[in-house]
Structure 1
Amino acid sequence: MPEQRDPSPYDALLLLSFGGPEGPDDVVPFLENVTRGRGIPRERLKEVGQHYFLFGGVSPINAQNRELLEALRSDFAAHGLDLPVYWGNRNWAPYLTDTLRTMVQDGHRRIAVLATSAYASYSGCRQYRENLADALADLRAEGLPVPQVDKLRHYFNHPGFLRPMIDGVLASLAGLPQDVRDGAHLAFTTHSIPTAAADTSGTPGDHTRDGEGGAYVAQHLDVARMIADAVRAETGVEHPWRLVYQSRSGAPHIPWLEPDICDHLEEQHAAGVPAVVMAPIGFVSDHMEVKYDLDTEATAKAAELGLPVARSATVGADPRFAAAVRDLLLERAATERGDTPERCALGALGASHDLCPVGCCPARAARPAAAGADWRGPVAEAPA
């Protein structure tokens, strides 16, 4: 059968990411963007920014997004897919509104959106949709055409996202000293979020109570289980594993998902585990929270304990991930044309929904969010 290359009705793809500072002078303004509306004093933001200053005030995320952008363009061109790819950020240049303005000025009216977040959660999905709604409202206020934007589905269980992570864990295990390799524990890490936000992640049918974690935890557990199973199948060794968390922020009295990776390393060392592989499955690329929280802080904790550790690679701009994005785009395009394409997904949870239903990853406060069932346009009232 000929390869599917028809992206219609889409006329462009938007790579939508978080953004990060690219120099010391950018750090505090960037953090002001991230925390806008929370009333955090500038002096406190300078303290928070020390992680960035350790790396010259530069977050690696923008450079990594440039690499992914080029990987997507190369993959599309190599497979005869004639679709331009643009890049915009929520919190730093190139800003989302500026990129969408350029896209409509270039004539694009039906835009597919890939967010650099693979899982369901407020901060990983709905907040991106809220930012899209804000940007579309800005375009309308400027008298510009307002395009239709469709966010591609969650891709945590797509093989093009999973296989690079499996290979990363295998490579990390192979790099450990032989006398500790087979006994190594796998610590699958992701961003901690408030337990209340985790419990309401995903569709209303996914919501849970009492800190069970909703779709956010269920999706990560499914990914961790698949990677551990693949490692066992390919090495013949069954490694114990656990889903753990990192990068907690916010008030200490608010419950967040636990255990923290550093606490977990202490527990594993006390239990006599000979080595740990830290696998950041919750992140698309090696941005600041990976470089600092794992490569700096957690690695220092392991050295203090005398515990051998390795950190496996994130997916980044792996060609298999670029191919997965192409697959997701063409799948959604076919669906929008009324076809019933094969939806590629591994594990127990199946392919995610295309259109976020009402009540999916609910907002902290009522705000419009584009690309969902409750979206009524850039001038619509916020849903109750």
Structure 2
Amino acid sequence: MTLDVPFDALLVLSFGGPEKPDDVRPFLENVTRGRGVPPERLDAVVEHYMHFGGVSPINALNRELIGRVEDELVASGLDLPVYFGNRNWHPMVEDTVAQMRADGIRNAAVFATSAWGGYSGCRQYHEDIARARESVGAGAPVLTKLRQYFDHPLVVGAFADAVRAARAELPATTREQARLVFTAHSVPSAADRNAGPPAEGGHLYSRQVAEAAKLVAAEAGVDDFDLVWQSRSGPPQVPWLDPDICDHLDVLSGKGVRAVIVCPVGFVSDHLEVVWDLDTEAKDKADELGMDFVRAGTPGRDRRFARLVPALIQERLAGQAPVRLGVEPLLGSTENGVRCAVDCCAAVTRPTR
């Protein structure tokens, strides 16, 4: 049965990534514009992409996800066409929203491929939506961003099963003693302080990540674990959340740890910052230290992640309280107890050198 709902489309909104070598440098310049990232850092990241043929996995992974989401929408009785747009590379969200207007779309839900609060994980997606609607002008569809979902049972369950599966890949001699280490994308410390309404103390991003790690560990039956960070960029004099995963592996090795399970809880898919920073750099570091290393999968290819999307839409339409396992605040909407304050998660002015 098809449900009568006010939304007439779904927009999957993501970060974007290059799909051929000539795309890499322009893409990185889009991502880092105004952030004071040194040219030599861009050169190094270009080389990372070239290890994978100049192609990021992210667009292909999102297209796969959209196919699964379309099936789950039909199964849920939601007859919605699904569109795909990006912040930083083609298909650019401005072009996608223009196509939506041409197709007669008037009111679309937006699923962002970021589970988090904070500037880049939430507020910037609101800015992307506003910029795209402004670029399209009269007749642009209303675009309603769905809420954050870092502690949704479907996401926590997918990560926990991935941790269990990863543990099973380790040699029997180190499996039970392996240290569980969660990672998420580092951000400037000042940006984390700004994450969330000032009246609530900020630091919403790191608080949400810590809570997600705790929930996944508990679901996986692990009592003790570590949370570290990865993928920092920008001028070296600017403080970012730490410790870095590779530095932490040094510390663990010094304590006699012989095996690690790394769970990238901050990422919904195996895009380049997972397959390079973890599967390449962190794995090489562990090999250098003589540690067994296994990386847990991300939830993007798990059917539960596709089911999350219609679940969030139905929750919104029914005006239900968010289905969640955690207690940290949610931001990103103005309904169902999920809200953004006018001054929350402001961007940080970054030095240019």
Distance 1:285 1:30, change over 3 A: same
> Residue 151 of structure 2 is aligned with which of 157, 168, 171?
157
Tell me which of 270, 288, 300 is aligned to 2:254.
270
Alignment correspondent of 1:261 = 245
Q: 1:241 aligns with which of 225, 228, 235?
A: 225
Provide, for residues 6-63 of structure 1, a one-character-per-residue CA deviation record: whole Å limited to 9, x for no partner: 4622111100001101111111111122123457687763443111011100000011
Q: Is the 1:28–1:42 Cα contact (8 Å) retained in structure 2?
A: no
Give the count of matched residue pairs: 344
1:149-203 residue CA offsets vs partner (Å, 9 max, x unmatched): 1111100011111111000000011111112111111110000001111111123
Deviations 1:241-273 (A, max 9, x none): 111000010111111101100011111111011
- Cα distance in structure 1, aligned partners of 2:47 and 2:348: 28
Q: Give the distance between the partners of 1:127 and 1:289, measured in 2 at CA.
A: 19
The amino acid of 2:47's aligned partner reads: Q
Q: Deviations over 1:305-343 (max 9, x none)?
A: 0011100000113211111111101111223xxxxx242
1:203 counterpart letter in structure 2: P
Question: Residue 348 of structure 1 aligns with which residue?
Answer: 327
Instruction: State the distance in 2 between where 1:36 and 1:257 align.
Output: 21
Cα distance in 2, alignment partners of residues 243 and 40 from structure 1: 25
Deviation for aligned residue 1:363: 2.7
User: Partner of 1:298: helix, strand, or coil?
Assistant: helix
Q: How far apart, CA to CA, are the structure 1 residues paired with 2:35 and 2:329?
A: 37
Once the two structures are TM-superposed, the CA of residue 113 in structure 1 deviates from its matched residue by: 0.7
Q: 2:139 aligns with which of 139, 142, 145?
A: 145
Report the TM-score when normalising by structure 1: 0.85
Stretches of structure 2 that go unaligned for 5 or more consecutive residues are 335-339
Paired position in structure 2 for 1:136: 133
1:7 and 1:215 map into 2 onto residues whose CA distance is: 36
Instruction: State the partner residue of 2:337.
Output: none
Query: Does the 8 A contact of 2:166 with 2:261 survive in 1?
Result: yes
Task: Tell me the percent identity.
Answer: 51
Q: Find out whether 1:284 has 2:263 as its counterpart.
A: no
Contact 1:344 1:351 in 2 (8 A): no
Determine the structure 1 residue equivalent to 2:206: 217
How far 1:351 moved relative to its partner? 5.6
Q: Is the 8 A contact 2:11 2:108 kept in 1?
A: yes
SS in 2 for 1:316: helix
Provide the secondary structure at the position in 2 that maps to 1:178. Answer: coil
Indicate which of 102, 105, 114 corresponds to 1:108: 105
- Partner of residue 53 from structure 2, selected from 39, 52, 56: 56
Residue-by-residue CA offset, 1:129-161 (whole Å, 9 max, x unaligned): 112211111111xxx412211111100011111
Q: Does 1:65 find its partner at 2:54? A: no
Q: Is the 8 A contact 1:159 1:324 kept in 2?
A: no
